[in-house]
Amino acid sequence: MSSANAADTIPINRTESTELKSGQKATFTFEPDKSGMAIDMVAISKFQGVTYEFSTDDTQRFGVSPVPPTDVDDAVTTHNPRLTVERQLTVIVRNVSSVDRILTAQIGGVKV
């Protein structure tokens, strides 16, 4: 957990969605404001035939994987202690199936 007092933190829950046709790639970028952010959950819609990866501040943190860190329907903690993000968190999904999908990426955590 960050050094910030839990009573002083402000929760973050951000989502972005897009339609991803067969063979397409989507990139979701989440950036902190000046205060920074600490993430305890990265969730992405789970489908067969989709690959998942994410990085923070240009460091690969997850994937390439056929399953997401957690699904937006489950939204369980994926990072304990929280993952500090100084510049950006980037989620990349690729639809390698023949079926078009609507995908959502979600992050949860706190401003620090």
Which two tokens mark 40? 């305890």
Domain 6-111 CATH (choose: 2.60.120, 1.10.3470, 2.130.10, 3.90.1150): 2.60.120
Cα separations (Å) of 44 from 6, 70, 72, 105?
26, 6, 5, 4
pLDDT band, very low/low/confident/very high, at 110 (cuts 50, 70, 90): very high
Cα separations (Å) of 67 from 5, 42, 94?
34, 12, 12
The pLDDT, as a whole number, for residue 3 is 46
Q: How much is the CA Rg of the chain, to the nearest whole Å? A: 14
For 71-107, write each residue's pLDDT tens digit: 999 989 999 999 999 999 999 999 999 999 999 999 9
Which two tokens mark 71? 């699904």
